[in-house]
Amino acid sequence: MSAALATGIVAAHFVGPWGFGWWFLLIPLFWITLIAVLFAVFGRRWRRAAAAGGYGPYGRTPARQAETTLAERFAQGDIDETEYRARLEVLRANAPQ
């Protein structure tokens, strides 16, 4: 068997019948990796926003922060339940829609 024929057989084996080599498998691998990275980045943001109740970027709006501070003061015993409910009602009534 001549060297040219052997080289042609080996080349056909590694290239395949359609002219594509093993590198052709890298194209779907690239797209799968790209979609996984995008899902990891944006999925995390969407999950954080959903967990925060959908208030602004990750739930850190001034109205939400004021309610949290008020709830902490009530939990510490600085204000009683009547004052807590009255102030909470005022905060929610004046919160931007």
pTM above 0.75, yes or no: no
* pLDDT one-digit tens code per residue, 35-69: 999 998 888 777 776 666 555 555 567 778 888 89
For residue 52, give the 3-state DSSP assignment: coil
Q: Is residue 63 within 8 Å of residue 91, measured between CB atoms?
A: yes
Q: If you average pLDDT over residues 14-42, what whole number do you get?
A: 80
Q: Quick one: pLDDT at residue 73?
A: 94
- Higher confidence at residue 6 or residue 35? 35
In whole angstroms, give the CA distance from residue 66 to residue 72. Answer: 10
